[in-house]
Structure 1
Amino acid sequence: MSAWTADALTRIGTADELRVSSYRPDGTLRPFVIIWVVRVGDDVYIRSAYGPGNGWFRRAQTSGRGRIKVAGIEQDVAFVAPAPDVHAAIDAAYHAKYDRYGPGIVNTVVGPQVVAVTLRLVPQD
């Protein structure tokens, strides 16, 4: 596994949305889905706003790898479970970035109910 570049972290951190896709068993990409993304330190996280039953999330978990498109970046990634102690910082990052959309939508991606549907995006060479 590799690390994000400083430029990629800045571009991802300031982008409102990214497109995420997972790989099928035959190596082809599924259609991209638009979701919110946050940066915490040198890591990038996404969450399933509508729980573990959301199709993109189930497929990402099963595949373990995919591709993102964001702010002129197209990058293969691994979908990795985050460290247990990072969720408060992820919540704070979602609030800081997206509170302007109102609590109804932000509350779908913060709090204890989304811990299990959080993925860290790790760039792959």
Structure 2
Amino acid sequence: MTTAWTSDELSRVGGAEELLIASRRKDGTLRPYVRIWVVRAGNDIYVRSAYGSDNPWFVRAKASGTGRVRAGGVEKDVVFTDAAASAQRDIDAAYHAKYDRYGPRIVGSVVGASAMETTLKLEPQAGG
């Protein structure tokens, strides 16, 4: 079961330069955290795998479906869900706005049609 991000959490997590993400193992323990980029689009938080759908952290997150994130002083248990295709344009725009200063080669790894398959929406777990 999920809940919504608060306005403060959206600002803090969405405004953070990077996010630490850890998926859960079958026994419920957390895997080691991985540092990745994070964006806010509307009232949602998203992450993408810069190195495709075979990136180990992404494979583990998809398989487990749950984990924990840390960013902007916020730590939350989350559910990893697929992003809606209709959100693609807004997510790409958020990545461009936030990270274009790193150059087109780097930002290009997390935007565009192929990036959608590696996009996860982070939804806070109720009671987490």
Fold similarity call, TM over 0.5:
yes
TM-score scaled by length of structure 1:
0.98
TM-score scaled by length of structure 2:
0.96
1:47 is displaced (CA, Å) by 0.2
Q: Which runs of 4+ in 1 moved over 3 A?
A: none
Task: Tell me what 1:96 maps to.
Answer: 97
**Which amino acid in the other structure matches residue 101 of structure 1?**
Y
Task: Tell me what 1:47 maps to.
Answer: 48
**Which amino acid in the other structure matches residue 24 of structure 2?**
Y
Task: Tell me what 2:68 maps to.
Answer: 67
Deviations 1:33-67 (A, max 9, x none): 00000000110000000001100000000000000
Q: Secondary structure at the match of 1:107?
A: helix
Q: Report how many residues are paired.
A: 125
Superposed CA RMSD in Å reads: 0.5
Structure 1 unmatched runs, 5+: none
**Matching of residue 82 in structure 1 with residue 83 in structure 2:** yes
1:12 is displaced (CA, Å) by 1.1
Q: Secondary structure at the match of 2:79?
A: strand
Structure 2 unmatched runs, 5+: none
Task: Tell me what 1:8 maps to.
Answer: 9
Q: Secondary structure at the match of 2:69?
A: strand
**Which amino acid in the other structure matches residue 11 of structure 2?**
T
1:71 is displaced (CA, Å) by 1.1
1:115 is displaced (CA, Å) by 0.8
Distance in 2 separating the partners of 1:39 and 1:14: 8
Distance in 2 separating the partners of 1:101 and 1:37: 14
